[in-house]
Amino acid sequence: MTIYGERSESPVLIESIVAFIDLLGSKDAAVDLEHQQRRLNQLVNGLSRARDIAALPQVDGYAATATFTDNIVVGYPLDETGYPESRDAEKIWAVLIRVLGSAAGYQLELAKEGLFVRGGMAIGPLWIDDLFAFGGGLNSAYRIESEVARYPRILVSNEIVELARWIKPYLSGTSRPWLENYLLRGWDGAVFVNYLFDESTRIHPASDFLDAHKMAIGAGLYENQSQPVVYEKYLWLRTYHNFFCHKFGKTEYVMDTRDELYEFFPFDLESEQ
């Protein structure tokens, strides 16, 4: 029984933040048995940890997940009743920080295995049980992932950005920068999850991970020089990696490059652009 099933004896759509996340490269990976075995090892090691992180079971079972192959759907009811008119700023803050931490943690665990994802995050009605996920919120998140995200990033919808602005007056002096740091804005105006920030918040040093992240991106660039569509995604990752290292004082892990093709901006709750 999921958190959704606990609300009612029969399926009821609940207003939720919904994340749909897809692992990149699975269809094109592995043409021979050796590569397939290496890919399988990456998937087993990364996905098992990542799915545990995404559901955040160590918190209080507030989220629910549905998984199929290398995709995952995560649902977070917006409040205890599931009805929009019952929204409370403190509860919304708790849900937002959970869902952003969940999405960031999922990306991080896979990135540690050299695997990268693309995803979408939206608000809408959702039902999840042990068999399937259903609802307009899932449809919206899937459309963002498949039609808008393009690069290895989890985009958040405009509705989620507006929800973050709605709770702005209720945030403490420490909560606001925490929320803003979990998000970045691209040159195209799209807001996405700053997953490397999740690593910077942990007690242990992030140096080993940043070095591994750098190596994984470098390997992707080298291996995909003849595949422009895939190569472009690793160029995007390189720029994101370098932006993070500069912003958080980890310049020793910046990747060599003559110029950056993409531009990122810190997310600001005050900004409309």
pLDDT in tens, 181-196: 999 999 899 999 999 9
Q: Are 269 and 179 in contact (CB under 8 A)?
A: yes
Look at residue 29 and tell me whether its pLDDT is greater than 80.
no
Sketch the domain layout of the chain as residue ranges.
14-195, 203-264
| Sequence-ordered list of residues with C-beta below 8 angstroms from that of 195, at least 6 positions apart, any chain | 103, 104, 105, 107, 108, 111, 154
> Six-digit token pair at 158?
């405009």
User: Of the given ranges (78-92, 127-141, 204-218), which has the lowest mean pLDDT?
Assistant: 78-92
pTM: 0.86
Place of tokens 């992030």: 206
**pLDDT computed for residue 80 by the predictor:** 55
Instruction: Report which of 3, 171, 2 is spatially closest to residue 78, judged by C-alpha positions.
Output: 3
Which run of H or E residues covers position 188?
none
CA dihedral over 6, 10, 11, 12, signed as positive or negative: negative
C-alpha 16, offset from chain centre? 16
Alpha-carbon Rg for the chain in angstroms: 18
User: Of the given ranges (79-83, 96-100, 174-178), which has the lowest mean pLDDT?
Assistant: 79-83
**pLDDT computed for residue 82 by the predictor:** 46
The whole-chain average pLDDT of the chain stands at 81
Place of tokens 């049980």: 129
Instruction: Report which of 63, 152, 150, 83 is spatially closest to residue 111, judged by C-alpha positions.
Output: 152
> Six-digit token pair at 267?
């997310």
The architecture of the domain spanning 14-195 is 2-Layer Sandwich (3.30)
Q: Are 120 and 145 in contact (CB under 8 A)?
A: yes
Question: Higher model confidence: residue 203 or residue 158?
Answer: 158
Q: How many CB atoms lie within 10 A of CB 260?
A: 14
Q: Are 143 and 136 in contact (CB under 8 A)?
A: no
For residue 95, what pLDDT band results from cuts at 50, 70 and 90?
Answer: confident
